[in-house]
Chains A and B, each alone.
Chain A
Amino acid sequence: MSILREKLENTSERVFTAEFPSIDGGGMDSVIKNAARLAPWFDAVNATDNPAAHAHTSNTTTAIAMKMHDLEPIMQIVCRDKNRIAIQADMIGASLHGITNLSLLTGDDVTAGDEPEARRVFDVDSAQAINMARIMATGTYLSGRKINPAPDFYIGAVENAAAPPFDYRIQRALKKHRAGAQFLQLQICYHPDRLEAFCKGVAEVAPDLKLIPTIVLMKGAKGLAFMNDKVPGIDVPADVLARASGASDPAQEVYNLTLELAQHALSLPGVRGLHVTDFRHDETLDLFMNDLGRTPKRQG
């Protein structure tokens, strides 16, 4: 059983996940370096699938490389680049290598990336992909062809708690849960009230669905403005932007704000941990985790 599943399903411990940096050049050395940096703090880390519609080392090969270097992967699969056959192949291929944590999501559109002229696939959507994973874990492909023995998947999904239609987001999360999602990594949310309403609503109906809100570590006020302007589905309220840019030390203010958001998120019903996206790649991660009262795991 994966560490992630064991902790979420059989303990009440908090779980911390992160995003593995995209690998392009640099070979296995860059994997080793990043794995060493993340391993002390995180239970499992997402092997991303061409994030923001940019080509990088593939989800499966990144997940395998992470596993080789003692970092438990959560393999992401997005619906943008592969049809239902290829997505099932990704999942069963992951299983071959002992990778069982999955995170299934729609994915940014091709126009978000550097090859907007590419064909978008979206043969299945995220809820359908989740259902396919669930079906495979019962021992058949979508077609009904048997898989014996059935792969062991721990199925995750993603939801944006704070994008329109606001009233519907809870139902959508529950739909993914019905399809087979056992945990949800939530997109970054700068509206604590919306996150709170979402988590309460989900926890009331589906207390066994584990919620893991995202927190982003960024360098300063410009990063916040970038999130607001460029990242689809992310809105940063004007007073938050003003608080960051108007401070005497904007970088410190953004850090304080991030810590407040993290502590608030952890206090919400249904929330079992945090997903940390680190755009700083410096010692701030250690500081942040320390401030949350975490102690690093000893390696080796």
Chain B
Amino acid sequence: MSGKDDTMFEEISDAWELVVGLEVHTELKTTTKLFCGCSNQFGSEPNTNICPVCLGLPGSLPVLNRHAVELSIRVGLALNCTVQASLFHRKNYFYPDMPKDYQISQYDLPLNIRGHLVLPSGHRVGIERAHMEEDTGKSSHLGGSGRISSASASLIDYNRSGVPLVEIVSAPDIHTPEQAREYVSELRSVLVAVGASDGKMEEGSLRVDANVSVRPRGSTELRTRCEIKNLNSLRSLGRAIAHEANRHIALYESGESPTQQTRFWDESGQVTGALRTKEEANDYRYFPEPDLVPLAPSQEWIQSIRDTLPELPQQRREWVMDLCGEATTNDRIETAISDELYPFLVATLRSGLSPQRVVARTSNELAAELPLPNYFSTERFVEICSLEERGELTPTQVKTLLTEATHDDAPISELIARLGLVAISADSLAEIVNSVIEESPAEWTRFVEGEQQLRGFLVGKIMKASKGKADGKVVGEMLVERVSAAKKVG
């Protein structure tokens, strides 16, 4: 995400406040589908993971997948929701990729209600509900604009039909495009952390709809909103929200009002367009699904799930921030607490190594080597970072060693020997510094007199003379010492 470009697109009038609520659909990472035993695997040959149930053949019946319920409860608990006795409803509407022409979803009694999510910025977004439902199949419309109305033919892949979803509905607590992105990004981390989702927006495992309205700043009213469907990247999300808000503002400022609509984001034109108005909206005729019994998880079950919840991103963030203090940037911390890197960070921190240094090594050098090979254990990372901590290797040498150690499973000592990575002793370094000063007397004098630009020149010469074995930081400190010594003498 290139911050500057996006914020340019996301400027909104100071007189108006943006009000956004997000509906995020996440596919659950179960082995099988929500109501049948078919495989829930992305990317199979079309129409290979199907059976009478997920094809909605006459006479077939749904049977609820217990693992999907467990993952849904994990999501609810991670979002601080209350888990309640719930009911499945049928949402009735016709569409070719929905085999039964109704979707089994939850309506007035969802599984998880009333939670919240605290964003890295500290902003708190209310969660109204997180309910279970089944996914539809996937249509590809051939010919025309790519929409069904103008298509010459449509192909339907029912592999996705019946894949378990959790729909997470936020309160209208989001007030900037940046907050919307932050919310989705944090929600994604939570879903991945609890093992509910693989979080792959590009594969559709996370799909976002945004309800957007604006109001005069300082007001608390909720004005007419428009729902923008299928915002499937953080970039589109921010831009679509800003565009839609500006459209509303322009309408209000010219004396008109927006009408309640479902809209889509046109990526190529960078505008939103109307799909259907409220009058054209479906009457879904919700009623309780008679083929399923009420879902009332026992308190014991809920507690046992709560007991196995992992550490959530916010908890990781707080812990690392406490250790590092102000000095480390948020970006570095966010990278270091990601699922792939966090175990390495934890291992180094638990070994008592300097927090700022290991956050830097984790979020920069180690992150650059993702995905890590299996033999690259947390112990291996601790061993390498300890060499730097004890001054046995310079940062430059550690970076070289890290790259090598993620590509070659030889023991660390062997790699060090092979690469000739021996930290230079303080005495030899002092000798090199002396000889560089002697070789460049004019530059040295100007440096002592305060010409700081020459610092790089001198450090460079010293590093070169040490064949990269010197620690740049130590060299810098040494130069400072020499300058003050020279000034005293002078």
Question: Bound pair: A and B?
Answer: no
